[in-house]
Amino acid sequence: METILAKLDGSNDEAYINKAGEILRNGGLVAFPTETVYGLGANALDETAVEGIFKAKGRPQDNPLIVHITEFGELSKYACDIDGKTKLLLEHYWPGPLTVVLKRKPVIPAAVSAGLDTVAIRCPSNPYARAVIKAAGVPIAAPSANSSGRPSPTKASHVYEDLNGKIDMILDGGSCDIGVESTVVSLAFGSPVLLRPGAVTLEQLKGILGEVETDKAIFEKTDPKRKVSAPGMKYRHYAPKAKVIAVLGDDDKSVAYIKDKLCASDISTGVLCYNGEEKNYTAADKIIPYGDENNALSLAQNLFDALRTFDETDVKLIYARCPSADGVGLAVFNRIIKAAGFETVSL
């Protein structure tokens, strides 16, 4: 299949977006930018189109998809039991990087939700994402537009690397603002549960919902055979080819630990570090500063691009400086410890 590459640079945007809408309506697959990461879209009401997503990504069949809409008012077409707190939450954070899991209405095919009786729904804020969904005129099921197991794409070039020749179109809208996937919160079974941390923070969710539990899979390895609340959380996502060791805790101790390990290392080793501390790691084979230590959003923005850049090198081991698990830092922490297969060093 030939994949159409369309750059949204103002010269031909409307035509490209209309074309994308037509492809989606007709059962095709289109990758498009959102404020979090690039999504791989298909008509959520068309079971065959949705099956195409699983094929193109090589995605396990038991991992459900998020349905994307453009208005809060559409939510009740696809989900039921929307209570007052859910409404309040969505008034605050939609459109934006927040996905809610609710009871699924039968109009959403079971294949979208991997057979669960719930559905995950998100209303993105990125203007290109919104324009594409509107042009399609149907709700859009969209996982991140990477091959299953690779870091999520935050640039059109990442989508191209993974999916060129496997999908109909890639809309290139530049780099994603947030860089990690949306916060996923389940509101389907009484008490709210955070299933995946993102840019809408746990603290913000608690501010509106009161008590919010955190799913174990955010912090710990789960048995792949066990039934988990967010099936996607059990896979070793975000995984670069090299082994990753997440280094947590005290700054000075972390820098000293990595320095020591680099000196002792006889394999090609990389460091994922904070801006300005590169000088400590002259013994590394590849150093990637990924943002400002005091600005977790800047770390989120560059994390997946950095992991992909390591894949272009021959480093076999990566020491990753990992922020503390609060605010947006929890999302970065979670992606790094997952990339590390939960192998962490706490100092």
Residues engaged in binding ligand TXA (CB under 6 A): 34, 36-37, 39, 63-66, 99, 101, 113, 116, 118-120, 122, 142-144, 181-182, 184, 195-196, 229-233
Residue nearest to ligand TXA (CB): 232
The least distance separating ligand TXA from the CB of residue 252, rounded to whole angstroms, comes to 35
- If contact means CB under 5 to 8 A according to the sort of partner, which of Mg ion, ligand TXA, none does residue 231 touch? ligand TXA
C-alpha 156/C-alpha 76 separation (Å) is: 32
- If contact means CB under 5 to 8 A according to the sort of partner, which of Mg ion, ligand TXA, none does residue 302 touch? none
* Concatenated DSSP letters of 252-321: HHHHHHHHHHHHH--S-EEEEE-TT-GGGGTT-SEEEE-S-TT-HHHHHHHHHHHHHHHHTS--SEEEEE
| 232, 99 Cβ separation under 8 angstroms | no
For 226, the token pair is: 């066990």
Please identify, using beta-carbon distances, which residue of 6 and 120 lies nearer to ligand TXA: 120
The least distance separating Mg ion from the CB of residue 43, rounded to whole angstroms, comes to 19
For 1, the token pair is: 């299949």
Residue nearest to Mg ion (CB): 144
Please identify, using beta-carbon distances, which residue of 125 and 144 lies nearer to Mg ion: 144
User: In degrees, to the nearest 5, what angle opens at C-alpha 298 toward C-alphas 294 and 303?
Assistant: 115
Please identify, using beta-carbon distances, which residue of 156 and 184 lies nearer to ligand TXA: 184
For 290, the token pair is: 């990924």
For 46, the token pair is: 């068309």
The least distance separating ligand TXA from the CB of residue 104, rounded to whole angstroms, comes to 7
The least distance separating ligand TXA from the CB of residue 285, rounded to whole angstroms, comes to 31
The least distance separating ligand TXA from the CB of residue 278, rounded to whole angstroms, comes to 30
| 58, 221 Cβ separation under 8 angstroms | no
Please identify, using beta-carbon distances, which residue of 176 and 271 lies nearer to ligand TXA: 176
C-alpha 248/C-alpha 333 separation (Å) is: 9
The least distance separating ligand TXA from the CB of residue 46, rounded to whole angstroms, comes to 17
- If contact means CB under 5 to 8 A according to the sort of partner, which of ligand TXA, Mg ion, none does residue 70 touch? none
Counting residues that bind Mg ion (by CB under 5 A) gives: 2
- If contact means CB under 5 to 8 A according to the sort of partner, which of ligand TXA, Mg ion, none does residue 52 touch? none
Please identify, using beta-carbon distances, which residue of 143 and 291 lies nearer to ligand TXA: 143
Please identify, using beta-carbon distances, which residue of 130 and 196 lies nearer to ligand TXA: 196
* Concatenated DSSP letters of 203-229: HHHHHHHS--EE-GGGTS---TTS--S
- Beta bridge partners of residue 5, listed in sequence order: 170
The footprint of Mg ion on residues 125-154 (CB under 5 A) is: 143-144
C-alpha 271/C-alpha 315 separation (Å) is: 10
- Residues binding Mg ion (CB under 5 A): 143-144
